[in-house]
Amino acid sequence: MDRAKRLEDALRDLEKAGRIGAEEVQYLLDVMQQEDSVEQFFSELIRGMSAKDENEMSRRTKGLELPSDAGWIVYHIQTDYPEEARELLGQIYSDPKEAVFPEGDSGMLRLVHMAADQDVRQQAKETAEQIVSMINTELMEKVYVGYSDVCELSGLHTADVQAAMALEILRTFYEERLEAGYGSLGIGRLVYSIRKEDCEAFLEEYFGAEKRLDLSEEELQTVNKFFEKNLNISETARDLFMHRNTLVYHLEKLQKKTGLDIRRFDDAMTLKIALMVERFLAV
């Protein structure tokens, strides 16, 4: 009798312990699923899913405790060591409301990050610079970052396209830079949006059937410096360590070659765009 009672008690204790254990496991599972879900949710939004159904959006946003009125920024991170970079950035951007995850098998990383309340542009730029600094210092690896404008959660798909474009334009036109935001791409964004056939037609119109400027390294250096110095002959000559008359001679030679007198603003602008178009077509 006593033995049977003891066994019954033991069975009850076991059931109790089992329930507690099961609850613990379920809790851990919930937490893990919730973490996974933020990434999953962002990933789906980026692919253009979920955002179509407002009720579903609202339910998941609430369930994941994501602030519905916040702004979001997507960062595209290009590095040769995406796994290590993901581990590293995951430690910095470790808030459950943000996520670092790979973009398919492209080797690219994405960070979806909540935007600051104020001074959003500057903060976004600083975050991009921080990503570069951390990968440079901790992994000693090269890295480039493109990032979007601020968007709502439902706009993550568009933001992702912007971040990808920012990175591509950065690598095409602004090789001296390591990060760029979609909103700060200047004329590069404009050139990038022109159809390639139109670009070729533009080059052909100005530079003939070869569609090439064919500038020597020295000519390119002179032109770039002249643009950098806002078409100022004296300052350009000083920086190039040449007499201003020598510079004028070089510019006149360039005019004969290209038909553009870049001392005139319109011609300077045409050559600047032509150089960018040529670069765009070469990449």
What are the residues binding another protein (CB under 8 A)?
A: 84, 87-88, 91-92, 94, 126, 129-130, 132-134, 136-142, 173-176, 217, 220-221, 223-225, 238-239, 275, 279
Q: How far is the CB of 275 from another protein (least distance, A)?
A: 8
Q: How far is the CB of 249 from another protein (least distance, A)?
A: 18
Q: Please give the C-alpha separations between residue 113 and each of 51, 241, 275, in angstroms, as whole numbers.
A: 18, 47, 35
**In this complex, which beta carbon is closest to another protein, that of residue 123 or of residue 255?**
123
**In this complex, which beta carbon is closest to another protein, that of residue 97 or of residue 279?**
279
Q: How far is the CB of 26 from another protein (least distance, A)?
A: 25
**In this complex, which beta carbon is closest to another protein, that of residue 128 or of residue 163?**
128
Please give the Cα distance from 47 to 75 (Å, whole number). Answer: 15
B/e letters for 242-265, b = 16+ CB within 10 Å, e = fewer, are: eeeeebeebbeebeeebebebeee
CA neighbor of 72 nearest in space, from 53, 94, 98, 93: 98
Whether 278 and 213 have beta carbons less than 8 Å apart is answered as: yes
Three-point CA angle 264, 270, 276, nearest 5°:
135
**In this complex, which beta carbon is closest to another protein, that of residue 126 or of residue 261?**
126
Q: How far is the CB of 127 from another protein (least distance, A)?
A: 9
Sheet with 108-114: list strands edge to edge: 99-103, 108-114, 72-79, 143-147, 179-181
CB atoms within 10 A of CB 10: 10
Q: How far is the CB of 50 from another protein (least distance, A)?
A: 29
Q: How far is the CB of 224 from another protein (least distance, A)?
A: 5
**In this complex, which beta carbon is closest to another protein, that of residue 62 or of residue 142?**
142
Phi, psi of 258 (to 5 degrees): -110, -15
**In this complex, which beta carbon is closest to another protein, that of residue 57 or of residue 274?**
274
